[in-house]
Amino acid sequence: MAMQSSSKTSIFQRFDNYQPSKTILVWTCVVTAVATMIIGFTWGGWVTGGTSRTAEATAVENARGELASAICVERFNAAPDASAKLTEFKAMTDGYARRQFIEAGGWATMPGQTTPNRLGVQGCTTALAG
């Protein structure tokens, strides 16, 4: 029995003596690369270029809307008849009528533009209603 136990190799010795073939090494690299991509896109927050451009365009539009909203509120409050206009604005209950009032007043139309910014009108209406 002593002879059998000495001829058996331990798992550590077998691991040290293992010589993988080139095929196994190549497939291991391929599987590792695919697993990295799957993990990166599902849990790592990676996005494609198209998704990134869409997110950028949305962020730019929202930022413009926020700026237009702030300018609209400032222009509205700076008008000579601001208190009367605000009373008239708050008397309106319909959201569409309020947006039309802001658009018609020209407060949400940015310099160099011919039409008001849609998000600016919405933000301005919300800010003035509050």
Give the Å distances, CA to CA, from 104 to 57, 66, 72, 108, 114: 28, 19, 12, 9, 12
Could you give the CA distance from residue 37 to residue 41 in angstroms, rounded to a whole number? Answer: 6
Q: What are the extents of the domains in the chain?
A: 52-129
Of 13-17, 31-35, 114-118, where does the model show the most confidence? 31-35
Q: Read off the pLDDT of each residue in 44-50 and give the average, rounded to a whole number.
A: 93
Q: Are 121 and 102 in contact (CB under 8 A)?
A: yes
The residue type at 28: T
Count H helices, E strands: the chain? 7, 0
pLDDT of 84 over the 70 cut: yes
pLDDT of 72 over the 90 cut: yes
Could you give the CA distance from residue 110 to residue 128 in angstroms, rounded to a whole number? Answer: 18
Q: What is the pLDDT of residues 87-104, one digit of tens each?
A: 999 999 898 999 999 999
Model confidence band, residue 12 (pLDDT cutoffs 50, 70, 90): confident
User: What is the pTM (predicted TM-score) of this model?
Assistant: 0.65
Q: CB neighbours of 88 closer than 8 A, spacing ≥ 6?
A: 101
Q: CB neighbours of 128 closer than 8 A, spacing ≥ 6?
A: 73, 76, 86, 89, 90, 98, 102
The mean pLDDT value of the chain amounts to: 90
pLDDT of 60 over the 70 cut: yes
